[in-house]
Structure 1
Amino acid sequence: MEVKIGVQHAPREIVLESGQTAEEVERAVSEALAGKSQLLSLVDDHGRKVLVPADRLAYVEIGEPSVRKVGFSAL
């Protein structure tokens, strides 16, 4: 699923494709904003970790789960 993260004082947002569910991403964001964690930590589809300081979060947009198509089809 696509996750967009806005960071305060940064001109661009962070966009990543994550294999985590919407509930897992939402839980991580909630914990970071509640002060349980100082960093928002997410993992993308390639296994890379994205760490954002919780006090710098402007917004987090959680997209729809992406459906991967396999095979060929007629256009």
Structure 2
Amino acid sequence: MEIKIGVRSVHREIIVETELSAEEVEQELRNALAADRGVFSVTDVKGRRVVVPVAALGFVEIGEDEQRPVGFGGTL
């Protein structure tokens, strides 16, 4: 699952590849938005944690759950 996070006053978005489902990411975001001075945090597939204060969030784009094909296209 790919997540793009836009941070206010930053020109590039943060792209995180996570093993969470779209529903789990959305729930984490809802919890962060509901908390006073909350932070949105997510762990990527390599175990790195990204933490963004909710006040600095511009947007969060949640990609679709999909399996990516492995290998090369074409025939031999």
1:62 aligns with 2:68: no
Q: What's the % identity of the aligned pairs?
A: 47
Structure 2, gaps ≥5 residues long: none
Normalised by the length of structure 2, the TM-score is 0.84
Query: TM-score, with normalisation over the residues of structure 1?
Result: 0.85
What corresponds to 1:3 in structure 2? 3
Equivalent residues in 2 for 1:1-75 (5 A)?
1-35=1-35, 38-70=38-70, 74-75=74-75
What is the root-mean-square deviation of aligned Cα atoms in Å? 1.9
Structure 1 runs not aligned, ≥5 long: none
Aligned residues, how many?
Answer: 75
Cα distance in 2 between the residues matched to 1:72 and 1:9: 39
The range that moved more, 17-26 or 31-40, is 31-40
